[in-house]
Amino acid sequence: MIIFLVLALSLTALILATTVFGQGNEVVAGYLLLIGFLGVALSTYVLFQTRRRILRLRIVAPSITTTIECKKCGFKSVREFQRGDYIFKEVEPCQKCSDKMLITAISREVKEKERVPSRLV
């Protein structure tokens, strides 16, 4: 919020600088131009850094998989989780023996964070 306030004041200083310059006071106009440009530059820099930080902190939902198994022939299949899946639910027929298959596992892929090895000094 304060960033937008500084940006508005900086733009006001730039507009005021052009008005003062038209009245013949070049020294004050120069200072107002300097303040205005510095304020605009710093405000835009902080806004872009904040946006970059927000994009970096986005949470990516891990993929959830469903394991389907045939109890008769032992055939296993893994597919994406579908809404309504639960363990021991009977689903499509087996590709090998045409018997009903059961959902035996629902799991989520956990991605481990890369660890930076510590340096011994």
Q: Report percent pLDDT > 70 for the chain.
A: 91
Task: Please tell me the pTM assigned to this model.
Answer: 0.48
Q: Which amino acid is at 78?
A: V
What DSSP element (H or E) covers 105?
strand 100-108
Q: In the predicted model, what is the mean pLDDT of the chain? A: 87
Strand arrangement, sheet containing 100-108: 76-80, 64-69, 100-108, 90-93
**Confidence class for position 36, pLDDT limits 50, 70, 90:** very high
65-101 b/e with 16+ CB inside 10 Å = b?
A: ebebbbeeeeeeeeeeeeeeeeeeeeeeebeeeeeeb
Distance CA 106, CA 81 (A): 7
Which has more pLDDT, 104 or 62? 104
Which has more pLDDT, 38 or 120? 38
Q: What is the pLDDT at residue 73?
A: 87
